[in-house]
Amino acid sequence: MSEPKCRPVGLTEYSWCKAVPGGTGITVFALLISKPIDLSLLQNAIHQLQKSHPILNSKLCHNTTTNSFSYTTPSTPHLQIQLFDLQSTSDILQGLTNPNNPSMSHFHLILEREINTNTWCANNDSLNSEIDVFFVSVYTLSDDRWAVMLRLHTSACDRTSAVSLQRELLGLIGEGKKEELELQREVEEEMEVGLGIEDYIPPGKANKPFWARGVDMLGYSLNSLRLANLNFKGIDSPRSSQVVKLQLNSDDTDRILLGCKSRGIKLCGLLAAAGLIAAHSSNCLPDQWQKYAVVTLTDCRSMLHPVLSCRNFGFYHSAIVNTHDIKEGENLWELAKRTYMSFANAKNNQKHFWDMNDLNFLMVKAIDNPGLTRSSSLRTSLISVFEDPVIDHSDELHQEIGLEDYIGCASVHSVGPSIAIFDTIRDGELDCACVYPSPLHSREQMLELIDDMKRILVNGSNHVESDS
């Protein structure tokens, strides 16, 4: 056996290594399967993915003496699937069921359990401790329903990587049932563990003069003290991440996408605008202007040197922070235009590279000094959105495997937004997983907010033609 390969984490990866022990950055992709799972086939598929994407086979090593992190990658796959039989799953669900929310499905409850299963929280306990970045569990929900949970450390897996992982995994499982699958030929190529995003930024794109860095850092710090947010419900209790769904039918989805296209904006601007209007309304301050922050995450792979593809697993997103002054009576489409153009102009000015180190630094400082944030809440913005949604369509492979549902999201209860939106357009319908920190915000509060966002979006879609 060859010696394990090792490399230190990059600056963005380091910020996630600091965030995850507290509860932000546990990425989960959950699959609901209605056909019996061949565990040996699934195990082989996972090992094939670890060979093709060695970062999935890596261990995160923490040196407490130097307070540094690195990835150590063995030459052979070692992940073993954790199986929960029907009785074990039933016992777990009994402890998760909330009498106040009887409508929550078992699949949803298991998803929330996984995004709050923090294998990395004890990572600081010993010198040079090592722990995997990838875990797989299978829960037996009933005699004909299984939940397959892929749980990853976000430093090794952004949303693009998680979506590619899900698709490649389904393709490999399907390969066990079909003789010919184009995806399999792609997966056979073995790749190296990539470098951190900073090492791929084109020369000169992230060079920031010292004084400009100081001015921007001061601006971000002062602005954060003036930002409004949702009302906090429980400040002192231990936190976890919870999920609510925002879903629109195909007609409403078509109309809002048409409205975005006709105005030259993207869906992220519309979702952010709906969230801002709903949040301001919930704060019951009709005569006051309030300033809210929006974080937009953009996949930088196509802008790096060399250009990376979705098959380059790792964290290659960057964040752009914009603030917006909101008052009662905002027009959805006007605010969406304003919100999106603020992001687009910042991106055109390279702020996703220019401010990367500043935002990473402030993120770590907030983690180390929560008192710097309002009520020590560690909230960095009201809402976070992705520049582009995931677009997916059901196909024969999904039917063959018995894929009934899936959800991809990540935890946010350490440092992060009050609402993190993970949007998918699935079979033409908008389907968003909205993650929030509990009990900082209550489920009732979030359900009301998401219902208001849905109403705002549907009403806005009904006026697409007259307003465009």
Given 197, 212, 233, which residue is the final one in a domain? 197
Question: Residues 162, 278: one domain?
Answer: no
How many Å is the maximal CA-CA distance in the chain? 69
Q: What's the token pair of residue 174?
A: 């399907």
Given 197, 216, 246, which residue is the final one in a domain? 197
Question: Residues 208, 177: one domain?
Answer: no
Question: Residues 295, 362: one domain?
Answer: yes
Question: Residues 95, 208: one domain?
Answer: no
- Burial environment of residue 453 by CB neighbours within 10 A (0 to 12, 13 to 18, 19 or more): buried
Looking at residue 218, which CATH number applies to its domain? 3.30.559.30
pLDDT (0 to 100) of residue 461: 84
DSSP string, 228-279: --PPPS-SSS--EEEEEEEE--HHHHHHHHHHHHHHT--HHHHHHHHHHHHH
pLDDT of 462 > 60? The answer is yes
Contacts of 241 (CB under 8 A, 6+ apart): 23, 26, 112, 115, 116, 411, 412, 413, 435, 436, 437, 438
pLDDT in tens, 400-410: 899 999 999 99
Give the count of domains, the chain: 2
pLDDT (0 to 100) of residue 190: 53
Beta bridge partners of 428: none
Counting residues of the chain whose pLDDT is more than 70, the rounded percentage is 88
Domain that holds residue 243: 199-467
Question: Residues 228, 321: one domain?
Answer: yes
pLDDT (0 to 100) of residue 226: 78
The secondary structure of residue 3, as a DSSP letter, is P
Counting residues of the chain whose pLDDT is more than 90, the rounded percentage is 69
pLDDT (0 to 100) of residue 143: 92
Question: Residues 318, 451: one domain?
Answer: yes
Question: Residues 239, 165: one domain?
Answer: no
Task: Kindly indicate the confidence band of residue 468, based on its pLDDT and cuts at 50, 70 and 90.
Answer: very low
pLDDT (0 to 100) of residue 1: 55
Beta bridge partners of 431: 247, 424
pLDDT of 183 > 50? The answer is no
Question: Residues 399, 435: one domain?
Answer: yes
Question: Residues 230, 185: one domain?
Answer: no
Question: Residues 245, 145: one domain?
Answer: no
pLDDT in tens, 60-111: 999 888 889 999 999 889 899 999 999 999 999 988 866 555 678 999 999 9
pLDDT of 55 > 70? The answer is yes
| Average pLDDT of every residue of the chain | 89
Looking at residue 111, which CATH number applies to its domain? 3.30.559.10
Question: Residues 161, 191: one domain?
Answer: yes
pLDDT (0 to 100) of residue 227: 85
pLDDT in tens, 210-250: 556 665 666 666 566 678 899 999 888 889 999 999 999 99
pLDDT (0 to 100) of residue 181: 43
pLDDT in tens, 109-125: 999 999 999 999 854 45
pLDDT of 176 > 70? The answer is no
Query: Radius of gyration of the chain from Cα atoms?
Result: 22
Rounded CA separation 253/257 (Å)? 6
pLDDT of 285 > 80? The answer is no
3 state SS of 48? helix
Given 197, 216, 238, which residue is the final one in a domain? 197
Question: Residues 114, 237: one domain?
Answer: no
pLDDT of 346 > 70? The answer is yes
pLDDT (0 to 100) of residue 184: 43
Q: What angle do CA 26, 21, 166 make, to 5 degrees?
A: 15
